[in-house]
Amino acid sequence: MIEKTQRGRCVGGKSGLRRPSRKEGTKRSYSSKPHSQKTSRKASRKTYSKTYSKATAGKVRIIPIGGVEEIGRNMTVVEYGDDIVVIDAGLQFPEEETPGIDFIIPNTKYLEAKKDKIRGLIISHGHLDHVGAIPYLIDKLGNPTIYATKLTKAIIMKRQEEFPHSPKIDVQEITSESKVKMGKNLRAKFFDITHTIPDAIGITIETPLGNVVYPGDFKIEVDAKGNPENIEPYISLGKEKNLLLLMESTNVEMPGFSMSEKTVRENLERIFKATKGRIIVGTFSSQIERIIEMLKIAESLGRKVFIDGYSMKTNIEIAKELKLFVPRKDTLVSIDKIDDYPPEKIMAICTGAQGEKNASMMRIANKKHKYIKIHPNDTIVLSSSVIPGNEKSIQNLKDNLARQGARIIHNKVEDIHATGHAYSEELKMMMKMIKPKFFVPIHGHYFMLKTNADLAESIGIPKENIIAPMANGIIIETDGNKIQPTKETVPANYVMVDGLGVGDVQEVVLRDRQMLSQDGIFVIITVIDAQSGKVRNSPDIISRGFIYLRESQDILKQTRYLIKKTVEEATGKMHPVNIDYVKTLLRERIAKFLFQKTKRRPMVLPVLIEV
């Protein structure tokens, strides 16, 4: 899961919101089920091969196009013969190295060349690192059918509205009961999974060589007795012939089990109950399950709920429409009415817990919110983690809220946030349940993938059956007996979205932005008399981000003198004037001079105009 923040990644949480069906297996609706759940692995392999006898010569290819050298822009390709299934189409938020960029998305060059073979794009859940790139690339993929659960579909459709020029997309709704034939050789089925958003789904691609299992983002909740919950689908799936498990690595470095979302719910309820004044909660808008839980607590305490922030309102609107929860008629009140209610009847739920500029919480902190002004009796609950990279903005947020006298409760002092990504023990549990032949860790940086591979080895998967760690664009091939990366790779570098441009920002543009941000720019405009080579008038100097010009008259004067001297010394012996030569000379001399004077290195750009 990625939150819609300026950058960084997020580790979300999950609550016990109901999913409609957790029925085991797939027997009833899928008549061609290849092997009995009770046969041994060896036996089942035979059955399987028979069923798909036409295609046994083929190989399964797995191509991680994004998400295996980073957190975000997840996209995985499963290919067999002439059939391609694409799983997820996420975006990644920009990094320090990509200033000014809006998003980074997967590189789909390989798929574009084979778009007639794409049988569908399956989306595991509605978070931006899984759905976010759809508007930018669906057209390039030949606008294939998108398969998604109800909520995920609604989120995709809603987002599509922001891209009016994007083509009309075809989204087919699926459930954990669905089976979808994907071309001649592949078939998709699904299983319920626990994450921080309802309707998250695991994906099983049946191939002639066995299942490719992709749980996507998940965690395993435990009940009061410490027993894992809702794991029946995994156990059931584990009885099938699972060729390969693609498993996320986000929290693989964390030992043990992650905190339960139930604990979070209980703590929030306790805090809310004990609070007398207004409650203002900041959380991720993507934490739809927790937000729904908070709504329920608010109802039980007789508080009205005021939702604020565009993405939060959108998500709640969708959840309501889909009846993921049914609030009492008068629970949700428009934020502009907040002052009509007494403090003890108010719970505001806001975006911006990461200190994102212009988000609701930040506007409250900066006293720029139209309807919420902080009172000393307010209790602010930050039910979120700190996404790496946002420390400074969150500190600002807390500081500015505290300055106004509010009481602040955050996740360092109370357990009011839990991740949505499995810790190492949960990952191991999943591996043991799925029992795959081959293991491929995905979704994480190199070191995380490596750690996940080690984890797989530790539970007994043979080293030679583990592919890890990978680079984006690697082609992993298996004939069912062996697995290895091929020598070829597919293009997988960053595709950057910057304003209207998708993929048009080059390295050089980013390097320039970084350089400009360090010591600014120094433009010299010199008019030269073409005849005499003399400098006409005083050279113009434009400088931004370098030194404060008004207080640097002395340097400017010396620079102008040096420009004139450099140009005229060069042009004096030169007919005609070699403009490029003079420019280079000028750039070097002035850069050196400015460095001597200031120990700064602005980008020096000389412009010579002959008249």
499 touches a copy of itself by CB under 8 A = yes
Instruction: Give the residue ranges of DSSP H helices in 26-124.
Output: 41-51, 109-113
389 touches a copy of itself by CB under 8 A = yes
62: tokens are: 């797995």
In contact, 442 and 67? CB cutoff 8 Å:
yes
Please say which residue, 224 or 611, places its beta carbon nearer to a copy of itself: 611
Please say which residue, 184 or 412, places its beta carbon nearer to a copy of itself: 412
Q: Report the largest interatomic distance among the alpha carbons of the chain, rounded to a whole angstrom.
A: 95
- Report d(CA 338, CA 347) in Å as an integer: 9
- Least distance between a copy of itself and beta carbon 527 (Å): 6
Matching residue, tokens 């061609």? 32
Distance of CA 172 to the CA centre of its chain: 23
16 touches a copy of itself by CB under 8 A = no
Burial 97-108 (b: 16+ CB within 10 A, else e): ebeebbbbbbbb
Please say which residue, 229 or 540, places its beta carbon nearer to a copy of itself: 540
Q: What phi-psi label fits residue 206: left (phi over 0), alpha (psi between -120 and 50 degrees) or beta? A: beta
516 touches a copy of itself by CB under 8 A = yes
Please say which residue, 175 or 538, places its beta carbon nearer to a copy of itself: 538
In contact, 610 and 530? CB cutoff 8 Å:
yes
SS3 call for 549: helix
Q: What phi-psi label fits residue 444: left (phi over 0), alpha (psi between -120 and 50 degrees) or beta? A: left
Q: Are strands 146-148 and 603-610 parallel, antiparallel or unpaired?
A: unpaired
564 touches a copy of itself by CB under 8 A = no
Chain residues 208-267 in contact with a copy of itself, contact rule CB under 8 A? 253-255
Among 46, 373, 375, 544, binds a copy of itself (CB under 8 A): 544
581: tokens are: 């030569």
Write out the H or E segment, with its range, that includes residue 498.
Answer: strand 495-498
Chain residues 449-468 in contact with a copy of itself, contact rule CB under 8 A? 450
Q: Phi, psi (5° rounding) for residue 201?
A: -140, 140
- Least distance between a copy of itself and beta carbon 503 (Å): 11
Please say which residue, 333 or 605, places its beta carbon nearer to a copy of itself: 605
In contact, 307 and 316? CB cutoff 8 Å:
yes
Count of residues making up the chain: 611
505 touches a copy of itself by CB under 8 A = yes
Chain residues 45-74 in contact with a copy of itself, contact rule CB under 8 A? 69
Per-residue binding string, a copy of itself, 72-101, x by CB under 8 A, is -----------------------xx--xx-
Binding-residue total with a copy of itself (CB under 8 A): 70
Provide the β-strand partners of residue 438: 244
In contact, 131 and 159? CB cutoff 8 Å:
yes
Please say which residue, 327 or 389, places its beta carbon nearer to a copy of itself: 389
SS3 call for 312: helix
Of 81, 199, 197, 86, which is closest to residue 140 (Cα–Cα)? Answer: 86
Please spell the DSSP secondary structure of 411-440, one letter per residue: TTTS-----SS-BHHHHHHHHHHH--SEEE
- Least distance between a copy of itself and beta carbon 207 (Å): 30
Please say which residue, 39 or 514, places its beta carbon nearer to a copy of itself: 514
Please say which residue, 459 or 542, places its beta carbon nearer to a copy of itself: 542
Among 43, 459, 542, 574, binds a copy of itself (CB under 8 A): 542
Please say which residue, 183 or 545, places its beta carbon nearer to a copy of itself: 545
Tell me which stretch binds a copy of itself (CB under 8 A): 241-249, 325-333, 366-374, 497-505.
497-505
Write out the H or E segment, with its range, that includes residue 507.
Answer: helix 507-519
Among 204, 519, 563, 604, binds a copy of itself (CB under 8 A): 519
| Identity of the amino acid at 276 | K
399 touches a copy of itself by CB under 8 A = yes
525 touches a copy of itself by CB under 8 A = yes
Per-residue binding string, a copy of itself, 312-351, x by CB under 8 A, is ----------------------------------------
392 touches a copy of itself by CB under 8 A = yes
Q: Phi, psi (5° rounding) for residue 191?
A: -140, 145
Q: Are strands 242-248 and 438-442 parallel, antiparallel or unpaired?
A: parallel
- Least distance between a copy of itself and beta carbon 390 (Å): 9
- Least distance between a copy of itself and beta carbon 595 (Å): 8
Please say which residue, 50 or 412, places its beta carbon nearer to a copy of itself: 412
Provide the β-strand partners of residue 510: none
Chain residues 149-208 in contact with a copy of itself, contact rule CB under 8 A? none
404 touches a copy of itself by CB under 8 A = no
Question: What is the binding site for a copy of itself (CB under 8 A)?
Answer: 8, 69, 95-96, 99-100, 253-255, 386, 388-389, 391-392, 395, 398-400, 402-403, 408, 412-413, 445-447, 450, 469, 498-501, 504-506, 508-510, 512-521, 523, 525, 527, 536, 540, 542, 544-548, 551-552, 597-600, 603, 605, 607, 609, 611
